[in-house]
Structure 1
Amino acid sequence: MTWTLEIKRIAGILDGSSTLEPGVNIVRGSNWQGKSSFIEAIKAALGVSTELTEGADSGTVHLETPSGVYDVTLTRENGVVSQQGQPYLTDEYDVIRAGLFACLDERNAVRRAVRAGENLEDVLLRPLDFQNIDAQIETLQREREQIETELSQAREAKKRLPTVQEKVTRLETEIEELQAKRETIDNQTSSADSSESVRRQLSQARSEQNQARNRIDRLEQSIERTEQRLSERRADLDALEIPEYTDIEERLADARENLSQVERDVEVLQSVYSATEMVLSENRLDLLTDVERDIDGDTVACWTCGSETTRADVADQLNALGDELTARRAQKETYRDTVEELETQREEISQARRRKGDLEEEIADLEATLADREQSLEAARNRLEQAQAEVERLSDRVDETVAELSDVESEIKYREAELEETADELAQLETRAARVEALESDLESVRDDLTELRSRKDRTKREAREAFDAAMQDILARFGTGFETARLTPEFDIVVARDGQEASLDALSEGELELIGFVAALAGRQSFDVDETAPLMLVDGLGGLDDDNLHTLIEYLQQGTEYLVFTAYPEYTAFDGHEIDPTEWHVANEKQASAD
C-alpha cells in the first residue's frame, strides 16, 4: 500500500524521493528544506499543481501506487507552464474536487476564503460547474421518452392479452369439433379416386378463399387504425408551435460573457476590498507606505501612485469600493437570472423542434405503411376473386357429401391457419407485456435520476451545511476555542457565536480561523465524496497552531483519509506515524524555497 515519489525540479525541490505509508506521514523540517515543495510535488502528481522550480524549463514527478504508475512532466514555454503525461487524476471534475478538498495547504481556496471572511458558496460548490449537468439531463430526457413509448406499447399488449388468449382457446375448440365432424363424414361416404381429387382441390380453393377474406378484413382494420393514427399525428404537428425567441444563442453567449466578466470583476473588487479593509482594520498602513501622524489625522503616501492622501480619504475610497462591490454583486445576480431564463427558452425551442422532427418522421413512416397496406389490400381482393371463381367451378363437380366434407376440411385449414397466426400474436403480446414491470422500474429510475440532477445543487448545499455543522461539533468537542459554535447560513456566510451572541470573524485568532477553514474544507470533501477518487489529504501551513492543538487536529483529520501528509517544524513533539526526512533532498536556494 506504499506510494513512492521521485521528484525533479518541482517547486523548491531540485531532486528528491520519498514514500508515503497508509496513515499519518509527517514531513518534519526547518524553513527552506522543501516541506511545502514536497506537498506541491504530490499535487503535481495528482494533476492539481503545475509549479516548477523558479528558472527551470521542465520538471517531472514519478508516482508509483498499488493501483498503477503515473508520470507527470511540467514544461515552461513563453512564461506559461503546461502539463504532459499521465497524472493520478485525469477527469477535470476529479481534479477540481481534489484541489479544493484534498489539498489543504496554505494556498487552499477554502482556507483562504475563511481567512478573508468571504462568502463560501462559490468555492464550496465550484465542482458542480464541471459536472455538465445540463447535458446529462438532456440525455436522460431522451431516454425517458424512449422508455415511455415502449411502456405504452407494453401496457397495450398486456391489455389485449385476455382477448387474444380467449380467441386461441376458441379456435382450438372449433378445430377439434371440425375434425370430429370430418371423421364422421369420412365414415359415412366412400368416394372414388376422382371425387377424392376434386374434393381436395375444392377444399384447397375454399381454404384460399377464407384466407383471402380474413386477410382483407385484417388489412381493412389495419388501414383504418393507420389512417386514424396518421390523422392524429398530423393534427399534433399542425398544433405544435415552436417558440420564437430572437437571437437566443447570441443573447445567451452575450449573457454568459457578461456574467463571466462581472464575476471576475467581483473577484477583483473583493480581493482589493478585503486587503484594504484588513490594512485599515488592523491599523497597519505603515506596512505599505510612510505614515505621518498628526492631530488632524494621519497623512500617508498612496502605495500605488505615490501621491499624498489621508487615512480618512483611504477609508472613504474603501467605502466607495464596497458600494461598487455591492452593485457588481447585484449585477451578477441579474446576469445569472438572464442566463437561466435564456437557457430555459433555448430548451423550450429544442424540445419543440425535437417533437416536430419526431412527428414528421412518424408521419412519414405511417404514410409509407398506409401505402404498403393499401397495395396489399388490392392484391388480397384480386386473390379472393380468383379463389371464389375456382370454388364455384369445383363446386359444380362434387356431390352434396363431397361438398360437405370439403367445406369441413377447408374450414379446418382456415381455422388452423388462423390459430397459428393468433398463437404467434399471443406469443408476441406475452413477450411485450412481460416487460411492463421492468420498463416501469426503468422509467422510475430515469425520473429519479432527472429529479436528482435537477436538485443536485440544492442537495449539495444542504449536505455541505450539514457536514459543516457535524464537523464543527467534532472540532468544538476536541478544541478549547474562544467561540461557542459556528455555522453556515443558507447563503453560505460563516456565523460565529460567542457568549450567546454573534461575533465577528475578525475577533477570532489565527488558529481559530484555521480550524474553521478545515471544517469548511471537510464539509466539501464529504459532500463531493472526494475520498472515492483521492484517498489522501495534504496539509501545510499550520504555524498558527500550538503543539497540543496540532496533535489534536492531525488525530482528527487522519480518521477521514487513507493517507494523511502534513508538514511540521522540528520543535513540535513527535507524531505517531511515518516520518519523512527532507534533509535527503536537493533543494533550491533560500529565495526560491522561501515558501517552505
Structure 2
Amino acid sequence: MTWNIEIENIAGILDGETTIEPGLNAVRGSNWQGKSSFIEAIKTALGTSTELTENEDSGRVQLRTPDREIAVELVRENGSVRRSGTPYLENEYDVIRAELFACLDERNVVRSAVRRGKNLEDVLLRPLDFQNIDEQIADLKREREQIQSELSQAREAKKRLPGVQEQVTQLEKEIKELREKRDEIAVSDADDGTSDDEDDESPQQQLSEVQTERSQAKNRIERLERTIERTEERLEQRRSELESIEIPADDDVESELASAREQLQQLKRDSEVLQSVYSANEMVLKEGRLDLLTEVERELTADTVVCWTCGNEAQREEMEERLNHLGDKITELRARTEQYHEKVKELETRREEIDQTKRRKRDLEREITELEETLADRRQSLEEAEKRYRNAQEHAEELSDAVDETVEAISDVESKIKYREAELKDTRDELSQLETRADQVEMLESESEEIRTEIEELRNRKDRIKRRAREAFDEAMDEILSRFGTGFETARLTADFDLVVARDGREASLDALSEGELELIGFVAALAGYESFDVDETVPLLLVDGVGGLADDNLHTLIDYLHERTNYLVFTAYPEYTSFEGREIDPSNWSVATNRQVRTD
C-alpha cells in the first residue's frame, strides 16, 4: 500500500524522492526545506496544481501506487505552465472536490474563507457547478419523452393484439379454402385431359415451370447487371488510385538512417562516459572527501589540492569550475543526442511511409487483376442468363397457346392465394411486432419511473448537499469541541451558510477568535465538504500544511482527528513539535531551490 513519489523542479524542490505510507506521514523540517513544496508536488500528481519551480522550464512528478503509475510533466510556455501526462484525477468534478476538501494547505479556499469570515455557500457547494445538473435533467427529460412515446405505442399495441390475431386466423382460413378450390380445378382438368400417360405434366404445370424459369432468368440478369456496374465502378476507382500513387525515392533513406543511428549511439556512449566522470568527481567534491584521493592543504584563503590524475596542484575552486564546464558539455551532448533521436524517428517514419506506399501499390495491382477476372466471369454469366431468358420466353409463348380457361382459373386462384399469403405474412409480422411491444409495457413503465426518480433526485441534490454539509459541519464541530478546549461554546452554519459562533450563550464576532480557533473551524468546514461530496471515494488521502496558532498538544489532537477520516494523511510540522506516531519524512535529503541560491551567492 506504499506510495512512491519522485519530484523534479516542482515548487521549491529541485530534486527529491520519498514514500508515503498508510496512516500518518509527517514532513518535519525547518523553514525553506521544502515541506510546503512537497505538498504541492503531491497536488501536481493529483492534478490540482501546476506550480513549476521559478526560472525552470520544465518539471515532473512520478507517483507509483499499488494500483497505478502516474507521470505528470510541467512545461513553461509563453509565460504560462502547461501540464502533460495523466494525473491521478482526470475528471474536472473530482479535481475540484479534491482541491477544495482534500488539499488543506494554507491556500485552501475553504480555510481562507473562514479566516476572512466570508459566507461559505459558494466554496462548499462549488463542485455542483461542475456536475451540469441542469443539462443532466434536460437529457433525462428527453430520454423520458422517448420512453413515454415508446410506452404509448406499447400500450396501443396491447389493445390491438386481439383484433390482429383474429385477422391472422381469418386469413389462414381463406388460404385453406382457396387451395382446396385450386385442387378441385386441377383434378377436374386432369379428368378432362386427353393424355393417356399419367406421368406426363399438364400444360398448366409446364407453363408454370417455364414462367418460373423465365422469372428466375430475368432476376439473375438484373442482379448480374447491377453487380457488373458496381464492379466496373470499383475497377475504375482502383485504376485511378493506382495512377495517382507516387512512390518517393528511397535511395538515401537507409544509409541516412544507419548513419544517424550510429551517430546517436556514439553520442549516448560519450554522454554516459562524461556523466560517469562528472558524477564521481562531483560526489568527491560535494562530500568534501578529497583526502580520499589526494593530498589537500587547507589554508585560510583557499584549499590547495594535488590533482589525482596529473599530479599538479590546483585550487578547489578551479576544480569545481572545471567540473561545471564538464557538466555544461554533458548538457550539450544530451541536446545533440535528442536532436539525433528526433532525426532517427523522422527517417524511420519516412521509410515506413515509402514501404506503405509500395504495399498499397501492390495491393491495388492485385485487386485490379482480381476485379478484371471477376468482371469477365460475370459478363460471361450475363450472356448465359440472357440466352436462358430468351429460350424460356419462346417456350412460354408456345405453351400459352395450349393453355385454356382452366389454366386461367387456376392462375386466378393462385394469384389470390399468393396475395392472401403475402397479406398473412404481413399480418403475422405485425402481430409479432405488437407482441414484442406489448411485452415491453412493464419494462418501459419501470424505466420511466426510474428516470422520474432520478430527475427528482437531481432537482433535490443541491438542497440535499446543503443539508448534508451543514449536518456534517455540526457533527465535526461537536467532535472538535469534545477534544479541544476552545474559547467558544459552539459554531454552526446558518441556512444561508453564514458562520455563527457562540460564546457565553451569545453570538460572538469571528474577529474575537484566536488564530488557532479559526484554523479549527476552517478544518471543520473543509471536512463538511469532504463528507457531503464523498471525497474519500475519489482520493484516499488528506494533505495538511500551514497550520498556525496551535500548540503542540492541540496539533497532535487535530492530526489524530484527521487521521480517522482518511487512509493517508500527509502533513507538515516544524522540528520543535514532538514526534508523531507514524512515518516521519525527512526533507534534508532533497535538493531545494533555497540551497541552490545559497551556493550561487
Judged with a 3 Å threshold, the aligned counterparts in structure 2 of structure 1 residues 474 and 187 are, in CA distance, closer, same or farther, namely farther
Judged with a 3 Å threshold, the aligned counterparts in structure 2 of structure 1 residues 55 and 420 are, in CA distance, closer, same or farther, namely closer
Judged with a 3 Å threshold, the aligned counterparts in structure 2 of structure 1 residues 18 and 183 are, in CA distance, closer, same or farther, namely same
* Deviation of 1:559 (Å): 2.4
Where in structure 2 are the equivalents of 1:88-237 lying within 5 Å?
88-172=88-172, 191-193=191-193
Judged with a 3 Å threshold, the aligned counterparts in structure 2 of structure 1 residues 172 and 474 are, in CA distance, closer, same or farther, namely farther
SS in 2 for 1:51: coil
Judged with a 3 Å threshold, the aligned counterparts in structure 2 of structure 1 residues 163 and 194 are, in CA distance, closer, same or farther, namely farther
2:498 alignment partner in structure 1 = 493
Judged with a 3 Å threshold, the aligned counterparts in structure 2 of structure 1 residues 183 and 77 are, in CA distance, closer, same or farther, namely closer
* Deviation of 1:37 (Å): 1.5
Aligned AA for 1:423? R
Aligned AA for 1:49? S
d(CA) in 2 for partners of 1:51, 1:416? 78
2:328 alignment partner in structure 1 = none
* Deviation of 1:111 (Å): 0.4
d(CA) in 1 for partners of 2:60, 2:91? 20
* Deviation of 1:429 (Å): 0.9
d(CA) in 2 for partners of 1:515, 1:39? 20
Aligned AA for 1:51? E
d(CA) in 1 for partners of 2:80, 2:46? 19
Please tell me whether the aligned partners of residues 52 and 81 of structure 2 are also in contact (alpha carbons under 8 angstroms): yes
d(CA) in 2 for partners of 1:450, 1:473? 34
The answer to whether residue 25 in structure 2 is matched with residue 25 in structure 1 is yes
The answer to whether residue 489 in structure 2 is matched with residue 509 in structure 1 is no
1:291-312, CA deviations, whole angstroms, 9 ceiling, x for partnerless residues? Answer: xxxxxxxxxxxxxxxxxxxxxx
Judged with a 3 Å threshold, the aligned counterparts in structure 2 of structure 1 residues 106 and 422 are, in CA distance, closer, same or farther, namely same
1:338-383, CA deviations, whole angstroms, 9 ceiling, x for partnerless residues? Answer: xxxxxxxxxxxxxxxxxxxxxxxxxxxxxxxxxxxxxxxxxxxxxx
Please tell me whether the aligned partners of residues 200 and 406 of structure 1 are also in contact (alpha carbons under 8 angstroms): no
Moved more, 107-116 or 54-63: 54-63
Judged with a 3 Å threshold, the aligned counterparts in structure 2 of structure 1 residues 186 and 44 are, in CA distance, closer, same or farther, namely closer
* Deviation of 1:174 (Å): 6.3
* Deviation of 1:110 (Å): 0.2
Aligned AA for 2:100? L
1:350 alignment partner in structure 2 = none
Please tell me whether the aligned partners of residues 47 and 95 of structure 1 are also in contact (alpha carbons under 8 angstroms): yes
2:532 alignment partner in structure 1 = 527
SS in 1 for 2:81: strand
Aligned AA for 1:445? E
Aligned AA for 1:438? M
1:469 alignment partner in structure 2 = 474
The answer to whether residue 566 in structure 2 is matched with residue 553 in structure 1 is no
1:262 alignment partner in structure 2 = none
1:203-225, CA deviations, whole angstroms, 9 ceiling, x for partnerless residues? Answer: xxxxxxxxxxxxxxxxxxxxxxx
TM-score computed with the length of structure 1 as normaliser: 0.59
* Deviation of 1:38 (Å): 0.9
Paired residues, what number? 402
2:582 alignment partner in structure 1 = 577
Judged with a 3 Å threshold, the aligned counterparts in structure 2 of structure 1 residues 199 and 506 are, in CA distance, closer, same or farther, namely same
* Deviation of 1:485 (Å): 2.3
Please tell me whether the aligned partners of residues 64 and 70 of structure 2 are also in contact (alpha carbons under 8 angstroms): yes
Cα RMSD of the aligned pairs, angstroms, is 3.9
Where in structure 2 are the equivalents of 1:22-421 lying within 5 Å?
22-77=22-77, 79-172=79-172, 191-193=191-193, 417-421=422-426
Aligned AA for 2:505? G
d(CA) in 1 for partners of 2:118, 2:415? 91
* Deviation of 1:417 (Å): 4.9
Moved more, 146-155 or 35-44: 146-155
SS in 1 for 2:564: helix
Judged with a 3 Å threshold, the aligned counterparts in structure 2 of structure 1 residues 115 and 163 are, in CA distance, closer, same or farther, namely same
Unaligned runs of 5+ in 1: 202-395
Aligned AA for 1:587? V
Aligned AA for 2:474? D
The answer to whether residue 448 in structure 2 is matched with residue 443 in structure 1 is yes
d(CA) in 2 for partners of 1:501, 1:397? 114
Unaligned runs of 5+ in 2: 196-200, 207-403
d(CA) in 2 for partners of 1:470, 1:411? 83
Judged with a 3 Å threshold, the aligned counterparts in structure 2 of structure 1 residues 169 and 9 are, in CA distance, closer, same or farther, namely same
Please tell me whether the aligned partners of residues 472 and 485 of structure 1 are also in contact (alpha carbons under 8 angstroms): yes
SS in 2 for 1:560: coil
Aligned AA for 2:450? S
d(CA) in 1 for partners of 2:61, 2:181? 92
1:135-169, CA deviations, whole angstroms, 9 ceiling, x for partnerless residues? Answer: 43443343333333322222221221122223334
Judged with a 3 Å threshold, the aligned counterparts in structure 2 of structure 1 residues 576 and 193 are, in CA distance, closer, same or farther, namely farther
Where in structure 2 are the equivalents of 1:421-440 lying within 5 Å?
421-440=426-445
Moved more, 49-58 or 551-560: 49-58
2:11 alignment partner in structure 1 = 11
SS in 2 for 1:571: coil
* Deviation of 1:11 (Å): 2.0
What percentage of residue pairs aligned between the two structures are identical?
A: 71
* Deviation of 1:112 (Å): 0.8
Judged with a 3 Å threshold, the aligned counterparts in structure 2 of structure 1 residues 172 and 525 are, in CA distance, closer, same or farther, namely same
Judged with a 3 Å threshold, the aligned counterparts in structure 2 of structure 1 residues 79 and 427 are, in CA distance, closer, same or farther, namely closer
Moved more, 490-499 or 524-533: 524-533
Larger Rg: 2
1:402-449, CA deviations, whole angstroms, 9 ceiling, x for partnerless residues? Answer: 99x999998877665544332221111111222222323333333333
1:69-112, CA deviations, whole angstroms, 9 ceiling, x for partnerless residues? Answer: 22223334555333333322233332222111110011110001
SS in 2 for 1:564: strand
d(CA) in 1 for partners of 2:204, 2:91? 79
Please tell me whether the aligned partners of residues 3 and 20 of structure 1 are also in contact (alpha carbons under 8 angstroms): yes
Please tell me whether the aligned partners of residues 4 and 65 of structure 2 are also in contact (alpha carbons under 8 angstroms): yes
